[in-house]
A and B are shown apart, each in its own frame.
Chain A
Amino acid sequence: MSAKIDFSKISFLVVDGDKISAQVVFDTLSYLGATAVQRVRSPNDAFEVLRTQQIDIIVTEWRLRGMDGLEFLDVLRNSVNSPNRFIPVIMLTAHSEQRYVTTARDLGITEFLAKPFNAKALYSRLVSVITRPRHFVNTGTYFGPDRRRRQVAFDGPDRRSPDD
């Protein structure tokens, strides 16, 4: 018997100004069984929802009106007013060049998915967020999920050990 994910127990927030894109994500999540899926067009609306409701996963576009997706992520991860600094964030964007991926990663994105996307790719990001939660790292310059994905043998000093 294989392990399953019960999506009906997860609440999602989709932040995307593009009606069709938001609809595709909404349809996919609904098909998977999610019943709590909210759609908003801007980060300001997203913060309203986050302050008043329990949200488990955010799916956001980078290109948004007013504050963009990156600033949104920055406030989420680093502001003292953030409703939830640890919330998993999947960035779904057509800004798919390497420099965008690196920038998003260094601001604490949980998963990155380039548009145009397909259902398989979106599903794999959802599975990753839910079943493989990562450590969070807090340094003077970074707060977010551990950016190291590969486990590489290293025999040097462990500078990321917690303070003694």
Chain B
Amino acid sequence: MTHYDWGTGAIVTPEKKKKKAQIIPPQTDLKRRTVNFVKGFDINLSPQQLDELEQVVQRSTETFVRDIGKDLADCRKLVVAAISDNSKASTALENSSDLAYSVKALGGTFQYPLMTQIAKSLEIFVADRTTANMKQLLVIQLHIDSLYVILASRVTGFGTTVEQATVAALTKLAERYELPRE
């Protein structure tokens, strides 16, 4: 309620009292049920245990190589088809976007960080596009071809200066043909 402040001679409207935050205690049920000194995995894993766990992740490497290899080949066909018939561009873009995200997400996990780098460049290039002109489709095709070569040649790690120069060139190419974006 507003009131007259005799000290300053002003009409004062009091600030609304803010609702205070409600603090709810942590739920400790999970901890109580699972943490013990007898059964299970150490909270702080030893380097050897971590290595074993990492090997479990790496079990899917062959599946990654096989499935992503097939997806790259399929996506390339769509992009090539769109280059000769632009009405197919939106399908090619959608497919490229999904593929770029998958490769970006998984490449590094399976020791292909170079693929993650190129996929990131592709993902940025195709983001929010519904159509693309011929030059832009060629840029996409180049990205896909590079990913395929890395996978087929099993270039793990970040590669040599040649591979790094290829990544930089692709990124630059994507920046050059970024517009129009529609």
Pick the interface stretch among A71-79, A100-108, A119-127.
A119-127
Cβ-based interface call for A41 (8 A): no
Q: Check B21 against A160 for contact (C-beta < 8 Å).
A: yes
Chain A residues in 8 Å Cβ range of B104:
94, 115-116
Q: A21 contacts B106, CB within 8 Å? A: yes
Q: Which residues in A have their C-beta under 8 angstroms from that of B52?
A: 31
Central interface residue in A2, A10, A33, by most chain B CB within 10 Å: A2
Assembled-state Cα–Cα distance A139/B19 (Å)? 7
- Point out the residues of chain B lying under 8 angstroms from A117, CB to CB: 109
Task: Indicate if the CB atoms of B34 and A5 lie closer than 8 Å.
Answer: yes
Residue of B nearest to A86 (CB): B27
Q: Are A118 and B109 in contact (CB under 8 A)?
A: yes
Complex Cα distance, B29 from A86, in Å, reads 12
Is A31 a contact of B40 with CB atoms below 8 Å?
Answer: no
Q: Find A116's partner among B22, B28, B68, B109 (CB 8 Å cutoff).
A: B109
A48 within 8 A of B: no
Report if B57 contacts A (CB, 8 A). yes
**Contact between chains at B23 and A3 (CB < 8 Å):** no
Identify which of B22, B36, B40, B67 contacts A20 (C-beta below 8 A). Answer: B67
Q: Which of B58-66, B139-147, B166-174 contacts A (4 or more CB under 8 A)?
A: B58-66
Inter-chain contact A119/B56, CB cutoff 8 Å = yes
Quick one: given A5-B43, A94-B101, A116-B107, are A19 and B24 in contact (CB under 8 Å)? Answer: no
A40 and B18 CA atoms in complex are apart in Å by 41
For the complex, give the distance between the alpha carbons of A120 and B20 in Å. Answer: 39
Q: Does B11 contact A (CB under 8 A)?
A: no
Determine whether the beta carbon of A28 is less than 8 Å from that of B37.
Answer: no
Residues of chain B contacted by A163 (CB below 8 angstroms): 20, 22
Asked whether A4 and B53 contact (CB < 8 A) given A23-B63, A115-B106, A115-B109, the answer is: no
Contact present for B108 and A116 (CB under 8 Å): yes
CB pair B24 A130 closer than 8 Å: no
Question: Given A5-B35, A27-B56, are A133 and B26 neighbors across the interface (CB < 8 Å)?
Answer: yes
Beta-carbon nearest neighbor of B110 in chain A? A116
Q: Is A45 an interface residue (CB 8 A)?
A: no
Q: How far is the CB of B47 from chain A (nearest CB, A)?
A: 10
Interface of A toward B, CB cutoff 8 Å: 1-10, 18-21, 23-24, 27-28, 31-33, 56-57, 63, 86, 88, 93-94, 115-120, 123, 127, 129-131, 133-140, 146, 159-163
User: Interface residues, chain B, CB within 8 Å of chain A?
Assistant: 18-28, 30-31, 33-45, 50, 52-54, 56-57, 59-60, 63-64, 67-68, 101-102, 104-110, 113, 116
Q: Add 15 more A-B contacts to A7-B40, A116-B105, A130-B34 (CB < 8 A).
A: A5-B35, A6-B39, A20-B60, A20-B106, A23-B63, A27-B56, A31-B56, A94-B104, A116-B116, A123-B45, A127-B43, A136-B23, A137-B21, A159-B18, A160-B21
The 6 A-B residue pairs with the shortest CB-CB distance, nearest first, are A116-B108, A94-B105, A133-B26, A6-B40, A115-B105, A4-B40
